[in-house]
Structure 1
Amino acid sequence: DCGMSKIELKQSLEKIEKVINDACGFFEQMNLPNKSNVNLSKPANSRGAVTTARPPPLVIGRDKDCDNIVAMLHDKEEDAQPDTNRAHSPASASERCIRPQIIGIHGIGGSGKSTLSQLVCAREEKDGHFNLVMWVHVSQDFSVDTIFRQMSEAASRTPCPQFNNLDTLQTNLEKKLHGKRFLLVLDDVWYNNRDVRQYEKLQQILSPLNAGEAGSKILVTSRTKDALIALGAAEQRCIPMSVLGEDVFLKLFKHYAFHNVCVPADDRIRLEDIATHIAKKLKGSPLAAKIVGGQLRMRPNIDYWRSSRDGNHLDDTMGALWWSYQYLDEQVRRCFAYCSIFPRRRYLERHELVKLWAAEGFARSSDEGKDPEDVCQGYFDVLVSASFLQPEVGKYSSKMDAYIVHDLLLDLADKVAGSDCFRIENQWKRSGDNWTMEGCEDEVPLDVRHVFVQTYGSELITEKICKLDNLRTLIIDSAEWRKPVEEKVLKNLFARLRKLRVLIIASDQGMLSVPESIGQLRHLRYLAFMTRYGSDSRLVLPGTLTKLYHMQVLDFGNISDLVFDSCEDMFSLINLRHIIQVPFREIRSIGRLTLLRTLETFEVRKEQGCELKQLSDLNQLCGKLRIMGLQNVESQQEALEANLADKEGLRTLELWWNYDETAELKEKEVQTEVLEGLCPPKLLESLTMYSYDGLRYPSWMMGKHNGGPKYLNTLSLHCCSTELGPELGGFCSHLRSLYIFSCSWDTLPDHMEHLTSLKDLGLNRCRNIRSLPRLPQSLECFKLSRSNEMLMSSCRTVGDPIWEKLQHILVAYVDGYRLETRAQYTSSSEPETP
């Protein structure tokens, strides 16, 4: 960028002064220390050995609370109450308008309400009293359609279909709940008794819940008892969060403060004593225990712990959070503040945040020589270790590596981000029989840098967003149903927002045509046009996209029809690191993009620039790689040029041939040599092969090769026509899952009992396998389907030798029918581990 003028410099200094004044005001408001009246600078040795290992979550002292709540949930008396909102409707005489009973938990922020509700859910899912257990976060500024969607997805464990109005969405949800006795947790409900509209919204989210069976229950958590009463909970069913006993809380605090801390014995004794005093200052707040304990764990220094004990900044939860934030590295604090653009309790994925931070330039400049994403990955690990980012329970999230920011921490992030970050959380509003989208009532700061828009509106973009000359990030989370972002709006946006580094537009079904003026965004590093449901989506890209030389990430998730005439020039984007869900068959000379980290699919073709050797220098590739068209590779030497063994970041590899039942011996020999040359890296975790028709398996799969994967845990073989399977020796010593589909083997590999880590074995459409070898004792799940009739019959016949080989397996299925095994009875008779 060009240098500043004197006027711009003066304006910048005024902005800095305003931020400082705002921060000081924040200190005073929260009764927190600031740099002017107390020395909060980091001790000289505070940045010594810092550990980022996160201790496992610990829940203690809540058994009695959990027992009381479960007893109320199972109470059959007064299971339900009349729905007063529908009692006078014409249909009420013929419908069962009974609302599930509501039980509430209330307590201050950070007291462990969400954790307790999840503990109850886990117990109920194991107990089986309810047909369906759902957990939904509500938050302060919730929208009814969002809550309905979350309920729908929690009910079916699948993405919610797209509907164009709330009535249809509600009807769909009622169908999913019909005939089921369910438990629904509404977590973190806010209520203002002066806000009539909020009360109406709360009543509205309860309306579909009448569809469940008698005995269904709703568990609500809130900071106030008033919210529980407003939803209809009886006074005696509003449970206050109990205060953890001093000894229990100290145990919880020490769990987070001392996990994996290695210090001399004398130092340990002194630290234990200091920890006892610090724990008393935290007043029983589990969130404070986790945050402060994590910060102390990263710096096990006696002077540092003593100064923390003697200060007054740990006397309340928010003060403890601020104190912990102060001791984060400057760049880590910047990354944390950036999280404030996302709505409360939004699931944040690790790989997405890391790429965003890298695109924003948050990696410390002193880390030259290190890859910016590796640096940002380190920042992420620090935030997780310090519990500023908390892993979300996988059972209640469809995302595999999802994290959330606790509400109190998001309040802190909002404060420290100041006017840099702003989120616009639009709402659906009912007017008669129609639903309309409310606009943004708050003024957007003109100096804002990062903006999140929950729902697109053309007026919002043209009248407010396009005036933000300093904008670096624009995330539009959802365009209206069947109304994608108009091309004229994009033209206006590209003309005005020249400093954009990140542009993400997530729409629903529809067509989006990107104007050529996108080439004006010369600072753009992260570009994503995505759709949740790709069946009717079309995206047209201009050739000027290839002029955005700083581009690092291209993500076109779920787009079904992508039109881009200049994809042959993609190699000019020399800084490109991630090509995500981009269905370009015509990308040529991709080997020039040597910084690539994500390339989900590469197709080998007999054309210039599409050879397998294009992968040769792409050694930064990580995660998953699918190589298709391997029938077009003609020699082992050509396969070796892919240099797969040096791609140490790869964890999942798929190798695809086109099946040809007329293949001659020579072609089979070529496939054999090609697979021999495709030796994967040592740290590969998952290998899948499709339609391999070679004469034998390669030496690196037979344990006869110094190279090859050493820690493979999943192996899937589809339509592989060799007569014998591979020898699963040293190659598979860590194998946990083995899946075989439509393979023409006569038998399973020998010595399978030596696969002592194997947990899952699946056979599908294996017509020639008539018997089973001795299976490993570690096996927990066995599934056999659509295979040899004799084999399946033997598995089902009590006393058959093959039936006997399955008796140590806990879960065994044959064509969808679950077998009874001795392991089931052994497991059910064992006492539960406390």
Structure 2
Amino acid sequence: MSKSKLKKILGNIEKIINEGHDILKLLDLKKAVATNSRAAVTTSAPPNVVFGRDEDRNKVIAMLHDRSGDEQPNSSSALNYSVIGIYGIAGSGKSTLAQYVIAHEKELRREKSPGHFDLIMWVHVSQKFSVNAIFTEMLDAATERGGHQFSNLDTLQQKLEEELNGKKILLVLDDVWYHDSVSQLQLEKIVSPLNVGSAGSKILVTSRSKDALVALGAVRRIPISELNDSVFLELFMHSALSGANIDERDRNVFAEIGRGIANKLRKSPLAAKLVGGQLRMRPDVDFWRDAGNRDLLKDTRGALWWSYQHLDEQVRRCFAYCSIFPRRHRLKREELIKLWVAEGFIETTGEGGEEEALAGKYFEQLVSSSFLQPGVNQEGVFHSFEYFTIHDLLHDIAEEVSRSDCFRVEDGWKGVIPPNVRHISIETYSRAIIQKVLEMENLRTLIIYSVKTEMLIEEKEFEDMFTRLRKLRVLHLVTATTSNTFSFPASIEKLKHLRYLSLQTGEAVKLHLSSQTDESVKLILPGTFTKLYHMQVLDFIGNTDLVFSAGKEMSNLINLRHLISFTSMNFPNIGRLTLLQTLKFFTVKKEPGYELQQLKHLKNLQGKLQIDGLQNVHSKNEAVEANLAGKECLKELSLFWEDESSNPNEQEEVIEGLQPPMGLQNLEIFRYQGSRYPSWMVDKQTGLKNLRVLALSNCRQLKPAPELFELLVHLQSFSLCGCSWDTLPDNMEQLMSLQNLMIYLCTNLLSLPTLPRSLAHLVIGNCDPWFTRSCQTIAHENWQKVQHIPNKEIFCDGALFAILRQRNH
């Protein structure tokens, strides 16, 4: 070995030893707790179990409905809102208390109780925030839909005030920080739109500092109360023993040891959840006793470090990687799993799905031990989105253990990027930053979250990126374009190690553009793209039309596992990609390589699959050959005929052969013109007993089928659109799990059966005007059938109905 090589190796060893000393210092707890901002809790949904907060909750609720403090003191004019604040140290349960309060208020709103708030909004503020971002979150909450983007703050505020005008509002500002007069001006700015609300509006603020509450004018400030000994022990033991596989005879032994451990945790709810989670996964008396002897647990931060150290080594690595995301980032399970696999963090002896399965277990371990905390379940009427967040103190730990590997460039950053960083994320792109990044030739991950239209990534910069960052495994870009065409340079072939490519143009980009927002962006992938043989994930989310310059050769990407797009992948012979797990869209064409049989060998498909162009399938045998029934991990299936004039008898044969797996949960059928239901929908032996969501759209020949609802006992959502039904089946009342019902463009419907008491959401749109009015007329038979449903949207556009009526008859 040469002297120079030996010197380099010794230098690396010395670096590792020094980093080890740094970690030991952290474990010795001589370092002060970091004061970084916390990961967003952007939901009003409380944890499944809340301990010891009933009295605090009732106190806050009483203040929310007390009108005596609505006018702020020391103001030149009365405000329409008043401010209530909750303060306390990190991890003490402030957000949980606020969630608990909001859950109660949402229940009052659902029941339309006297004094309820018309609009409830939850916004995370944190240490670093922009008024623009806060206003956008408030507008998203007020309109119950996302995607708002305004380049002009005044325009955004005007739009927000239009939505809030005249409403009685409850706004939660979670994790507010206060530093100086500048931050006070910003805080005053973010609450100013509430002045257009009605009197009695309230702002509920959580903060670590009383100063932040004073800055917002909170006349009532509540310190978060400390849990008493018995309640804290109950919380800890629930975290440590709930669901644990422990013999009842030994449970008393564990309870006694647990009591001693709980006494060391200084009544920190976060520490109780983290330490309890580790103990629950290790029901071993010796392990519990060893934990009870650790003085480390006497400090909250020490308890968190102890919990982190007892994660499996690979799980620790996966958690540390999460520090690359901003503190407000909403982590999605499947996205994070794909990233871990692409980075090579998951070590298995198998192939394909085994890595994803193991990564899924790591994810669940982090959730079970509270390192990842469930965030909002953003529920719409017929869909929901689940994501997870990381508590601030845990994010601090992730940053500390990964600081030599991971780095974030946030807004306003002007520092130095550590030279040995392997994974980097950039909150806002600039040419100065990208030039620094291009010097990091060992980079494995590059994530750029947003690019504004005044600072676009130009083709030369892509050339430099592809030429110099040749070790990239993950490249995630949100990029804008001033035209409707975007293309990668041919030099992308130099990224030989690339496994994960995510590009958001289209809808994500059009939010930044002032015109042509309804048109899609054409994304052109060069012919050299097919040389990226290690590629595992292609994620093209947005309003994007994909063009593959070498479409016939795309099947060379034999390691491809996930194709994610809002449109079909327009290249032939997709059936050769046998490792494929995600294929959201597939279109059958009258061309070689686009036959339905291409799905035959894609046995690993999972999640959602939409099949378009079924009018090009002409026999049951063709449908059977696709072997949908054998794809056991498929949970959602959409079947689309695009031509209503095709032979109904032929369609009946085809749909019979498209039998999905028995575990299917969501099914949508569009423009099916047969009059017969396939046996796999109605047969009691082979039917879809696990179906949760069913949507029938423009299936004009299908009639109500009582036998269908006898089978679908677990159905939660049913959508009927553009169908000729004149009534719903009489046995719908037995669907005790049904929560959502949408009836739209059904011009023959005149009456309703008795509906299940479980229904929470009802939409009736553009049906017969008489029928629509009857559902809104008190004492009418149809009104009596729907009056118990808390959330109803019933409407009819007369002109549109006339057109539809003429079309249907």
| TM category, shorter | 0.7 to 0.9
Q: 1:477 to 1:639 in 2, by over 3 A?
A: same
| Other-structure match for 1:18 | 18
Fraction of identical pairs, as percent: 49
Deviation at 1:405, TM superposition (A): 0.1
Change (3 A) 1:108 1:447: same
RMSD: 2.9
Contact 2:348 2:354 (8 Å CA) reproduced: no
Equivalent-residue separation in structure 1 for 2:209 and 2:782 (angstroms): 60
Query: 1:255 corresponds to which letter in structure 2?
Result: H
Within 1, Cα distance between the matches of 2:774 and 2:470? Answer: 70
How many angstroms apart in 1 are the aligned matches of 2:606 and 2:562?
Answer: 10
**Structure 1 774/510 Cα, relative in aligned 2: closer, same or farther at 3 Å?**
same
1:63 is matched by which residue type in structure 2?
A: D
Cross-structure match for 1:107: 88
* Alignment partners' CA distance in 1, 2:352 and 2:775: 59
Measured after TM superposition, the shift of residue 135 of structure 1 is 1.4
5 Å matches for 1:470-509? Answer: 470-481=442-453, 483-508=455-480
Say which SS state the counterpart of residue 172 (structure 2) adopts.
Answer: strand
Q: Which residue of 2 aligns with 1:416?
A: 401
Shift of 1:784: 4.1
Quote how far apart the aligned CAs of 1:168 are.
Answer: 2.9
In 1: Cα distance, 2:379 partner to 2:456 partner: 30
Q: 1:676 maps to what in 2?
A: 656
- Over 3 Å counting, the alpha-carbon distance change for 1:734 and 1:133 in structure 2 is closer
What one-letter code is carried by the residue in structure 1 that aligns with 2:432? Answer: E
Distance 1:722 1:561, change over 3 A: closer
Contact kept? 2:767, 2:796, Cα under 8 Å: no
Match of 1:641 among 606, 625, 632: 625
Q: What is the CA–CA distance in structure 2 between the aligned matches of 1:746 and 1:580, rounded to whole Å?
A: 39
Residue 64 (str. 1) matches residue 36 (str. 2): no
What residue in structure 1 maps to residue 121 of structure 2? 134
Q: SS at the partner of 1:688?
A: strand
Give the alignment's TM-score, normalised by structure 1. 0.85
Change over 3 Å in CA distance of 1:375–1:465 after alignment to 2: same
Distance 1:418 1:506, change over 3 A: same
User: How far apart are residue 145 of structure 1 and its match?
Assistant: 2.4
Residue 777 to residue 376, structure 1, CA distance change in 2 (3 Å) = same
Q: Deviations over 1:384-409 (max 9, x none)?
A: 00000000133599971110000111
- Once the two structures are superposed, residues 320-377 of structure 1 have per-residue CA deviations (whole angstroms, 9 ceiling, x without a partner) of 1111111100010001101111111321111111111111111124566862111111
| Deviations, residues 118-138 of structure 1 (Å, cap 9, x unaligned) | 222222333343322211111
Look up the equivalent residue of 2:58 and give its one-letter code: D
Give CA deviations for 1:575-616 in whole Å, capped at 9, x if unaligned: 111111153553100001111111111000010000000000
Asked if 2 retains the 8 angstrom alpha-carbon contact of 1:350 and 1:380, the reply is: yes
Match of 1:146 in 2: 133
SS at match of 2:240: helix
Structure 2: gaps (5+ residues): 33-45, 110-115, 511-516, 798-809
The alpha-carbon deviation at position 774 of structure 1 amounts to 5.7
CA contact (8 A) 2:498 2:534 kept: yes
Q: Which residue of 2 aligns with 1:823?
A: none
Aligned residue pairs total: 760
Report how far residue 732 of structure 1 moved. 2.0
Distance 1:365 1:262 in 2: 27
Q: Would the alpha carbon gap of residues 199 and 66 (structure 1) be closer, same or farther in structure 2, given more than 3 Å must change?
A: same
Q: 1:620 aligns with which of 588, 601, 604?
A: 604
Give the equivalent residue in structure 1 for 2:502: 528
Alignment of 1:460-475 (within 5 A): 460-462=433-435, 464-475=436-447
C-alpha distance in 2 between matches for 1:8 and 1:58: 54
Counterpart of 2:372 in structure 1 is 389
Q: 1:806 to 1:134 in 2, by over 3 A?
A: closer
> In the alignment, what sits opposite 1:216?
201
CA offset digits 1:159-202 (Å, max 9, x no partner): 25222233333333333333333222221122335xx5444443
Corresponding residue number in structure 1 for 2:644: 660
- Cα distance in 2 between the residues matched to 1:507 and 1:370: 31
1:41-120 alignment, distance < 5 Å: 57-81=48-72, 98=79, 100-120=81-101
Task: Report if the CA contact (8 A) 1:679-1:707 is conserved.
Answer: no
Check if 1:697 corresponds to 2:664.
no
| TM-aligned CA distance change 1:83 to 1:172, over 3 Å | farther
Contact 2:86 / 2:206 at 8 angstroms: preserved in 1? yes
Letter in 2 for 1:125: K
Say whether the 8 Å CA contact 1:774–1:805 is kept in structure 2.
Answer: yes
Task: Name the CA shift for 1:422/1:278 in 2 (closer, same or farther; >3 Å).
Answer: same
- Contact 1:567-1:584 within 8 A present in 2 as well: no
One-letter amino acid matched to 1:734: H
1:756-775 correspondence runs (5 A): 756-772=736-752
C-alpha distance in structure 1 between counterparts of 2:197 and 2:788, whole Å: 39
Relative to the length of structure 2, the TM-score reads 0.87
Q: Distance in 1 between matches of 2:120 and 2:792?
A: 25
Pick from 710, 724, 734: which aligns with 1:744?
724
8 A contact 1:688–1:715 mirrored in 2: yes
CA contact (8 A) 2:608 2:635 kept: yes
Q: 1:592 aligns with which of 560, 572, 576?
A: 576
| Cα drift, residue 218 of structure 1 | 2.2
- Asked whether the 8 Å contact 2:694–2:718 carries over to 1, the reply is yes
**Where do 1:259-270 residues align within 5 Å?**
259-270=242-253
Contact 2:555 2:574 (8 Å CA) reproduced = yes
**Shift of the alpha carbon at 1:288?**
0.9
Distance 1:396 1:693 in 2: 32
Structure 2 counterparts to residues 184-583 of structure 1, below 5 A: 184-193=171-180, 197-234=182-219, 237-365=220-348, 371-394=354-377, 400-426=385-411, 438=412, 440-462=413-435, 464-481=436-453, 483-508=455-480, 510-511=482-483, 512-531=486-505, 532-534=508-510, 535=517, 537-581=521-565, 583=567
The 3-state SS of whatever aligns with 1:625 is: strand
- State whether residues 482 and 508 of structure 1, in contact with CA within 8 Å, keep that contact through their aligned partners in structure 2: no
Indicate how the Cα distance of structure 1 residues 399 and 344 shifts in structure 2: closer, same or farther if over 3 A, else same. farther
The 1:72/1:563 distance shift into structure 2, 3 A limit, reads same
- Superposed CA offset, 1:610-666 (max 9, x none): 0000000111111111001101001100001110001111111000112434x5xxx
Cα 1:444–1:654, aligned 2, differ >3 Å: closer, same or farther? same
- C-alpha distance 19-672 of structure 1, shift in aligned 2 (>3 A): same
SS in 2 for 1:348: coil
- What is the CA distance between 1:5 and its match in structure 2? 5.4
* Higher relative contact order, structure no. (Cα contacts within 8 Å, ≥ 6 residues apart): 2
Q: Is the 8 A contact 2:569 2:585 kept in 1?
A: no
Match of residue 164 from structure 2:
177
- 2:656 alignment partner, SS class: helix
Structure 1 SS opposite 2:145: coil
Q: 1:292 to 1:367 in 2, by over 3 A?
A: farther
Q: Does the 8 A contact of 2:568 with 2:586 survive in 1?
A: no
Alpha carbons of structure 1 residues 258 and 577: separation in structure 2 relative to 1, 3 Å: same
